[in-house]
Amino acid sequence: MKSPAFLNLTSPGQDARRVRMKLNRMFRAIFLLCFLAGIGTPSLRAQSDSAADGVTVKDGKIYNIQGDQLVELTEVEKLPFDVEVSTNGTFKVGDGKERTLGEAQIIRRDSWLISPDGSVQPVFDHVAMQAGRVVVVRDGQASPLSAAMTFPTGMIVQPDGTCANSKSGYARLQDGLLFRMDGTGIMTKDAATLINGRVVVQRDGSLFNLKPEVLTDMNDATRVYGTGQIQPRGGATTKMQEGKTILFDGVPARN
């Protein structure tokens, strides 16, 4: 007689039911995993698609810039530096005031706002040294500094650009320098734009037209020709495209 430890206490029918129950539990688990994966995939894709190069307005409509393609905005677009753009063409930076993005203006992912006249500036609040004067820009509105301004960093800036800090003592700010409202230096940008066949340059914070017979050197040593050509230092000469703004590294940030 067999030992009770090896006795078969179930019938063939019971064994089959147990197998079916195990298979059903396994299939339900596989289905649940596939379902959860299906939910997660669109979310990941949406996050990837939202990484636009910037936003712009064309013919009164707001678009995402994705490479060379424009994709009409259908929901709020959140860009780095706390920039939020709505489908009606308005945008805000952090807790700042709501502003309207103008026709052909561009907000880039790196926070630079490009205007169709060829001018460029940070989209967030900042302080700039322009043409020998200090300008404070809040919510896109610029106003001359009227009294000494003390930054959280301890730097004190006068309206004429004279500044004092514990590191370098007294000095005069260079045209083109930019600072955040907390006194942190911003890496500036120069720009060149071909507008109706003429070259418009922004360098050191000033905007000017470049005559056809004239060339100018940018802060990064790129040469811009009034004939509409650009030549990086040691590089080949290329032709500018109508309506396109090219950015160059400007005056190094000062901290």
Task: Quick: pLDDT tens for 65-107.
Answer: 999 999 999 999 999 999 999 999 999 999 999 999 999 999 9
pLDDT value of position 170: 86
Distance between CA atoms of residues 14 and 27, nearest Å: 20
Is the pLDDT reported for residue 16 higher than 80? no
5: CB partners within 8 A, 6+ apart? none
Question: At 46, is the pLDDT very low, low, confident or very high (cuts 50, 70, 90)?
Answer: very low
pLDDT value of position 9: 36
Distance between CA atoms of residues 113 and 100, nearest Å: 12
Task: Quick: pLDDT tens for 136-149.
Answer: 999 999 999 999 99
pLDDT value of position 48: 32
Rg value, the chain, Cα:
30
Average pLDDT, the chain: 85
Q: What is the pTM of this model?
A: 0.77
176: CB partners within 8 A, 6+ apart? 128, 129, 130, 188, 190, 203, 204, 205, 206, 219, 250, 251
Is the pLDDT reported for residue 44 higher than 60? no
Residue given tokens 């040691």 in the structure block = 234
pLDDT value of position 201: 98
Task: Quick: pLDDT tens for 181-239.
Answer: 999 999 999 999 999 999 999 999 999 999 999 999 999 999 999 999 999 999 999 99
Question: At 64, is the pLDDT very low, low, confident or very high (cuts 50, 70, 90)?
Answer: very high
Residue given tokens 């596989």 in the structure block = 30
Task: Quick: pLDDT tens for 112-139.
Answer: 999 999 999 999 999 999 999 999 999 9
| Residues 19-35, mean pLDDT to the nearest whole number | 49
